Amino acid sequence: MSLINESHDPSLKSWVAQANEPGSDFPIQNLPFAVFRRKGSDEAFRGGIAIGDQIVDLGAAAGSGVFSGEAASGATACGDASLNRLMAMGPSIWSALRLALSRALRTGAPEATILAGTLAPQAQAEYTVPARIGDYTDFYTSVHHATNIGKLFRPDNPLMPNYKWVPIGYHGRASSIGVSGQAFSRPIGQTLPPGATQPELGPCKRLDYELELGIFVGTGNESGMQVPITEAESHVFGLCLLNDWSARDIQAWEYQPLGPFLSKNFATTISPWIVTMDALAPYRVPFTRPESDPQPLPYLDSTQQREAGAIDVQLEVCIETEAMRAARTPGARLSLTSYRHAYWTIAQMVAHHTVNGCNLQPGDLLGTGTLSGPSLDQAGALIELTAGGKQLVDLPNGEQRTFLEDGDVVIMRGWCQKAGAARIGFGDCYARVLPAMC
């Protein structure tokens, strides 16, 4: 588990001026990673870190000679078109590179003159998925989401009997994961209309978002080797925002007996920036369970988890309709919640995923599942906010929604903030729904 060190000092300032502005997602205490190139260019994609409104081109920085030792090795790996090589290097390299960048980006740093030449404005950059994602597993870690969904279909027994014993997950589709800015066509599939005796093929009518965090695996494990919970986070490179788009009407018809298929595999959107576990260290909070609930089995429990296994990441979902864009009005907030409410932690997901000997690989992605909080205004999906489409959501401009319409843009944001620590953010994760291609 990452420790607090000099890089977290809230008094640190950067020679990149915008990083010092209140409310910046990317102060010097953050330094998240992405893969980028200049917008509209045919340049090769390469790794960079965010500082204020700029990107440090890490491949160029490595060639400048400002880094040494482990930090130099890590920076050199960032010259690749994905972060997989850096992810495979492990926590020692990741931490060394982050600390070296922190020192080089501080006000008065002698490296400022050299690194200034490696900066690229974020406004002039485009991004790609930051890693080659070999496999994608989506979990179901919010007991509030699971309960809300269960009440719609099993009001007398909303939670399945295994939920509080085992981190539930399913294997998703890696090829359709896209980066923020993604636009995708409304999915087509089989649905069973109310009162019908046979299904029909057509565009989804109940398109939804799911507010999640994505967890990028760093170092992998050999096939047959379990990752103990006390070592699980050393296999995690960092977190991003994740929108697991869901076609609820297709899902309702297809999910039994094997779970989601076409209702989930058409698109998943992630934010370009990966916030490292080191950067998140000041925002750890205890992992707790109600005393009346089953306590985790020993392989899912540890003193570290009890003391600081959860992370307080604030999460927001907004919607921007075509009418809002035409009127140049901002998107409307739909919900605000926190990752601290999750029933299962990052380490528990990794430990459970590997307890049977499953081999994770650098760049694999785990989703947390929809992160709903204990009250309805903290719901992470429209199916919860609208009670399965029975209640309309009123938007500030007079529009209403039960599910998403063509042209809607869903925007997700995340940040960490508390007294005695610098605010850090994840940037935006947004995507637009296009009409079905039929």
Any catalytic annotation for residue 145? Answer: yes
User: Would you state the structure tokens that stand for residue 136, as one six-digit string?
Assistant: 């994608």
Q: What are phi and psi of 122, to 5 degrees?
A: -60, -30
Name the amino acid, one letter, at 384: E
The annotation status of 264 as a binding-site residue, yes or no, is: yes
Q: What are phi and psi of 104, to 5 degrees?
A: -75, -20
Name the amino acid, one letter, at 234: S
Strand ranges inside 277-423, DSSP E? 284-285, 310-311, 314-320, 332-338, 365-367, 393-394, 400-401, 409-416
Q: What are phi and psi of 229, to 5 degrees?
A: -60, -30
Angle at CA of residue 239, ends 416 and 362, nearest 5°: 160
The annotation status of 354 as a binding-site residue, yes or no, is: no
H or E, element range at 254: helix 248-254
Site of tokens 């300032």 = 13
3-class state of residue 92 by DSSP: helix
How far apart CA 438 and CA 203 sit, in angstroms, is: 8
The annotation status of 244 as a binding-site residue, yes or no, is: yes
User: Would you state the structure tokens that stand for residue 365, as one six-digit string?
Assistant: 């992605």
Other beta carbons within 10 angstroms of residue 293's beta carbon come to: 12
Q: What are phi and psi of 228, to 5 degrees?
A: -65, 150
The annotation status of 251 as a binding-site residue, yes or no, is: yes
The annotation status of 138 as a binding-site residue, yes or no, is: yes
Terminal alpha carbon distance of the chain: 49
The annotation status of 364 as a binding-site residue, yes or no, is: no
The annotation status of 106 as a binding-site residue, yes or no, is: no
Q: Which of 145, 235, 341, 352 is catalytic?
A: 145
- Count of all residues that appear for the chain in the document: 438
User: Would you state the structure tokens that stand for residue 40, as one six-digit string?
Assistant: 């509209």
Which of 144, 149, 433 lies closest to 269 in space, CA to CA? 433
* Upstream peptide bond of 203 is cis (omega within 30 degrees of 0): no
How far apart CA 369 and CA 371 sit, in angstroms, is: 6
The annotation status of 98 as a binding-site residue, yes or no, is: no
How far apart CA 17 and CA 425 sit, in angstroms, is: 17
User: Would you state the structure tokens that stand for residue 342, as one six-digit string?
Assistant: 């999750």
Buried/exposed code over 336-347 (b: 16+ C-beta within 10 A; e: otherwise): ebbbbbbbbbbb
Strand ranges inside 129-185, DSSP E? 136-139, 169-171, 177-179, 182-185
Judged on CB neighbours under 10 Å (0-12, 13-18, 19+), 29 is buried
The annotation status of 345 as a binding-site residue, yes or no, is: no
Site of tokens 């089989």 = 190
Q: Which residues are annotated as a binding site for substrate?
A: 140, 154, 251, 255, 370
Q: Which residues are annotated as a binding site for Ca(2+)?
A: 138, 210, 212, 244
Q: Which residues are annotated as a binding site?
A: 138, 140, 154, 210, 212, 244, 251, 255, 264, 268, 370
Q: Which residues are annotated as a binding site for Mg(2+)?
A: 244, 264, 268
Q: Catalytic amino acids?
A: 145
